[in-house]
Amino acid sequence: MFIILCHLGCGILLFTGLGLPAALWALFLYVVRMLATTAIYHRLIAHGSYQAPRLVWWLGSLLAASAGQMGPSWWKAHHQQHHRHVDSSNDPHTPLLPRAGWQGFWRSQAGWLLGESFHPQSLPADIEADPVLRLIDRLHVLPPLALAWLSWWLGGAQWLGAFCLSTTVLYHAVASVNSVAHLFGEQPFATGDASRNNGWVALLTLGEGWHNLHHAFQGSVRQGITIRRGAVRLLPDPTFRFIRLLQHLGWASRLRQPSERALLARSAS
Ligand SMILES: [Zn+2]
Ligand SMILES: [Zn+2]
């Protein structure tokens, strides 16, 4: 419902226009909340690709929830199901089943949230055991409403429209990892699924589009890696840079990365 409302809320900008301050607000909200989704929800909470103090988990979850990405238990539950059953009938958002083509694309981009697969099969025990994360999960609707109100308070209808635009684009960028990055792009690693490295998706999601590497090495804190002419090559990965920044500040540790030997052993060629 919240994401649908944000789509409709973009219409506000047709009446107010989008000035530079409001556009910068939209961009700021996009980058901060995308990093919370990719660095905290995905690489930290879902995959434990590095370790961080509890405060990072909590603040990151509040920010990711404010983007309409739901709570940490819901997010991790669905993501684990995706990896466990990737591109099979139990994958909640594969673009390939039960039908491929446009119907599959629509299902993976948005349709899966409108059916039974919206409800996770089970919730992750580690997140449920943390009372703060559990509270954020159950009250996940409050952070986006608070941020919408803050936008309105700061700059009126135009800034509320900028919030809606930022949230709508962010939603589709994250969803494109599920849809586009399982349909279009390179497969430098042998994963046995349809995951692909897609540079456009990586640009929009600050590094999450290198999805074939991610399916080959789910615990890797860096996703921007490929194989070219038999050698390991690094690709732009702003989320990884952000986590390295957290590490310099003492807020991230024990970053996990596959060895060159392991990377070459999974090469598809
Ligand atoms: Zn995937
Ligand atoms: Zn993942």
Domain extents in the chain: 2-79+127-265
- Residue 155 carries which side chain, given as an amino acid letter? G
25-55 burial, b at 16+ Cβ within 10 Å, e below that, comes to: bbeebbeebbbbbbbbbbbbbbbebbebeee
Give the distance (Å) from ligand 2 centre to CA of residue 102: 24
Give the distance (Å) from ligand 2 centre to CA of residue 254: 18
Give the distance (Å) from ligand 2 centre to CA of residue 17: 37
* Ligand at shortest distance from the CA of 93: 1
Q: Is the pLDDT of residue 51 over 90?
A: yes
H/E element holding 226? strand 225-228
Give the distance (Å) from ligand 2 centre to CA of residue 11: 33
Q: What is the mean pLDDT of the chain?
A: 96
Q: Is the pLDDT of residue 216 over 90?
A: yes
- Residue 87 carries which side chain, given as an amino acid letter? D
147-161 burial, b at 16+ Cβ within 10 Å, e below that, comes to: bbebbeeebeebbbb
pLDDT in tens, 114-164: 988 888 989 999 999 999 999 999 999 999 999 999 999 999 999 999 999
d(CA 69, CA 25): 19
For the beta carbon of residue 257, count every other beta carbon within 10 angstroms: 16
Give the distance (Å) from ligand 1 centre to CA of residue 53: 27
As a dihedral over the C-alpha atoms of residue 203, residue 127, residue 119, residue 161, rounded to 10 degrees, the angle is -50
Give the model's confidence band at 66: pLDDT under 50 very low, under 70 low, under 90 confident, else very high: very high
